[in-house]
Structure 1
Amino acid sequence: MKNIQYFEQILKIPVEGTEDQRKIILQKQESVCFLLSLTLENRNDDDLRRRIISSGIVEQFLFIFTTKKLDQITRAYTEAFFHLTNNTSNEIKLLIFSKKPFPGLQRLLDHTEYLIVSDAIATFINILYAGANSTPETGPNPHFETVKSCWGIEKIFDLFQKTTNQYQKNRATLCIGLIFRAREISDLTMRKEIINHLKTLITDTDTWVKSTAKYCLTGLSHNAVNKAEIETGGFVIPK
């Protein structure tokens, strides 16, 4: 993929000037995002993603997510960023984590466009999973404090409670399950609602959702309080 540095320069341009000038800048930035998505979707290429990360493109996306008015952030941006974290190794996801993506991602959860919210929560999962997979499965998720520090846990649980979109609800549940691996979910309401929903996902028709729910429940069960809640009603985590 050529012109990675050019893409970074386009994303760096402030959306300023007359209405026509702003429109032209936004169109250029969206075109860059579409090209990135087209290139990265369903493509497992860590070398390419390393080049993109080293170019500064990730920082430009995160600057946009944290500073732009939400109504100026279109799906072109969030979909491209999602594809950077998807179909790739834990190493790449941890490189992206090192750029501090959670404040920008949690801000996107307030967006009025449901596909943008879906991109944000799916990207959260990809990065949280990398943290979980890179550390012993009986220990806490190393990303816990980082998510907590930007009020990400509360925002994700708020999404879980309010959304009527099943994709978002399921992924918000899985996010919290990953965040609290081997750590007590101290909020009683959160503990009951998240664990109960995870238990329903064990029989989900989506194979990935089902296996991830099992992974989350197993991780949560390494804490005695969570384990007791999981076992309510005689529930047993499938082998």
Structure 2
Amino acid sequence: MAGTHSTESKEPHPYYDAVQECNGINKIYSLFKRNVSDYISQLSARSIASLHRGREITDLVMRREIVAHIVLLILDNEDPQNDAKQALSGLSRNPTNLNEIMKSVDFEKISKDLQQPLAGSDQEKKSMIKKLGCECRIIYSIFKSREDDQLRTKAIKVGIVDSFIKLFTSWDLNLITEAIILGFFVFTYPYSYTMSKLLYEKKPFPSLIRLFDHKDTDIVGDAINSIDNILYGGAIGTKASSAHPYYKDLEAAGGIERIYQLFKINASTFSRIAASICFGVVHRSREVKDITMRTEIIAHLKSISNHQNPELKTEANLALKCLSVNSVNRTEIEKDGFKIPTD
């Protein structure tokens, strides 16, 4: 449904009332129940789910059947355009729908599946990768843009994040798909100090840094953005004038140099931005001793301090503020009359 893609994902579907006025939802549900064809059933289920973005499916039987069908579409890899994934994400914004979704989602099983060694024939490996990708799409659909530390903590406690870290560390890089890294990414965003600390305690930096060597630049971007979110959460939850609490662990993992290298490679615009923000945030109150690093990172952060994306702008300005706690860094920032943002 086009209206799904043209409005904010947190808003109710703009066509819901118009469809409901002509009894359209019940008619679509009747079409779903008739099972004319797999295609019609899939389209009907996705339409009902999309229309109920952030809105409870009040009919208990309809809710149970539509949720089960959407989850099955994703798990069976019958969602090539990610329409079912988007529909499930919209449904999950209502707590009643979410409760129904969670009846079909077993975090502990997914965690165990992620821990299974990738072995067997090429076909068996391919099948396992596809299965894990589908399970990770379910995780992504549930957590995408959701501020729900309680549900994330529940998943972390059964070992999902540990399983992701083990996979990122042990698998052949080229077999790690974006669906899998995105399953981890949604634990880092929306960021909060609580989640950042939980993730930091799992020691994720070495495994995420390893992904910088992946040939897929989107996966590299997901990895650096995951680190960015963890560092950002750690910064906003601690004293603004103190050293960043995760600096030593990142440095021990070779992260400072690797992040700078990623910045220099400029694999993509957004990975370069994320690398510069990471570098600035983690150097809170610390002098960037390498003059070239200091001048290049600060110059880039200043260049994006008024970025059209408000979230990127906020993050870039926080990175500049973190750097400015140190007098040497602040002198570099204030060159040419630049004013450190205060908002």
Please state which band the TM-score falls in when normalised by the shorter chain.
over 0.9
After alignment, is 96-105 or 5-14 more displaced?
5-14
The structure-2 alpha-carbon separation of the partners of 1:24 and 1:118, relative to structure 1 and needing over 3 Å to count, comes to same
**1:70 aligned onto 2:173:** yes
Partner of residue 324, structure 2: 221
Q: 1:62 to 1:222 in 2, by over 3 A?
A: same
User: Structure 2: which 5+ residue stretches go unaligned?
Assistant: 1-101
> What residue number does 1:230 align with?
333
Deviation at 1:88, TM superposition (A): 4.5
Q: Deviations over 1:61-86 (max 9, x none)?
A: 00111111110111011111111111
Partner residue, 2:152: 49
Task: Give how far 1:114 is off.
Answer: 1.1
Superposed, 1:148-159 pairs within 5 Å as 148-159=251-262
TM-score w.r.t. length of structure 1 = 0.96
In structure 1, what is the Cα distance between the partners aligned to 2:335 and 2:122? Answer: 58
**What residue is the counterpart of 1:199 in the other structure?**
302
**Which of 90, 94, 116 in structure 2 is aligned with 1:13?**
116
- Between 31-40 and 86-95, the greater mean CA deviation after superposition: 86-95
C-alpha distance in 2 between matches for 1:104 and 1:144: 16
Alignment of 1:162-181 (within 5 A): 162-181=265-284
Q: 2:142 aligns with which of 25, 32, 39?
A: 39
Cα 1:88/1:160, change in 2 over 3 Å: closer
CA distance in 2, matches of 1:57, 1:238: 38
Question: Contact (CA 8 Å) 2:212, 2:262: kept in 1 or not?
Answer: yes
Per mean C-alpha deviation after superposition, the further-off stretch among 101-110 and 214-223 is: 214-223
For 1:236 and 1:177, how far apart are their aligned partners in 2? 16
- Check conservation: 2:165, 2:204, Cα contact below 8 A: yes
CA distance in 1, matches of 2:272, 2:170: 26
Q: Distance in 2 between matches of 1:228 and 1:20?
A: 58
Higher-Rg member (1/2): 2
Counterparts in 2 of 1:11 and 1:164: CA distance versus 1, 3 Å: closer
Shift of 1:202: 1.4
Contact 2:168–2:211 (Cα < 8 Å) also in 1: yes
- Between 1 and 2, higher relative CO (CA 8 Å, sep ≥ 6) is seen in 1
Tell me what 2:227 maps to. Answer: 124
String of CA shifts for 1:10-55, please: whole Å, max 9, x gaps: 1111111122222222222111111111111122221210111001
The answer as to 2:161 corresponding to 1:58 is: yes
Kindly state the Cα deviation for residue 164 of structure 1 after the two structures are TM-superposed. 4.4
Q: Secondary structure at the match of 1:85?
A: coil
- Do residues 4 (structure 1) and 107 (structure 2) align? yes
CA distance in 2, matches of 1:96, 1:162: 27
Q: How many angstroms apart in 1 are the aligned matches of 2:127 and 2:142? A: 23
Amino acid at match of 1:85: T
Equivalent pair of 2:277/2:319 in contact (CA under 8 Å) = yes
Per-residue CA deviation, residues 122-163 of structure 1 (Å, 9 max, x unaligned), is 111110012111211011101100000010111111011111
For 1:18 and 1:164, how far apart are their aligned partners in 2? Answer: 33
RMSD: 1.2
Moved more, 126-135 or 98-107: 126-135
CA distance in 1, matches of 2:259, 2:317: 20
Question: What is the one-letter code of the residue matched to 2:254?
Answer: W
Indicate the residue corresponding to 2:193 in structure 1: 90
Equivalent residues, number: 239
In structure 2, the residue matched to 1:147 is 250
Taking only the aligned residue pairs, the percentage that are identical comes to 37
Q: Residue by residue, what CA displacement relative to the aligned partner does 1:95-116 show, whole Å, maximum 9, x if unpaired? A: 0110000001111111111110
Moved over 3 A (4+): none
d(CA) in 1 for partners of 2:176, 2:121: 18
Give the aligned partner of residue 23 of structure 1.
Answer: 126
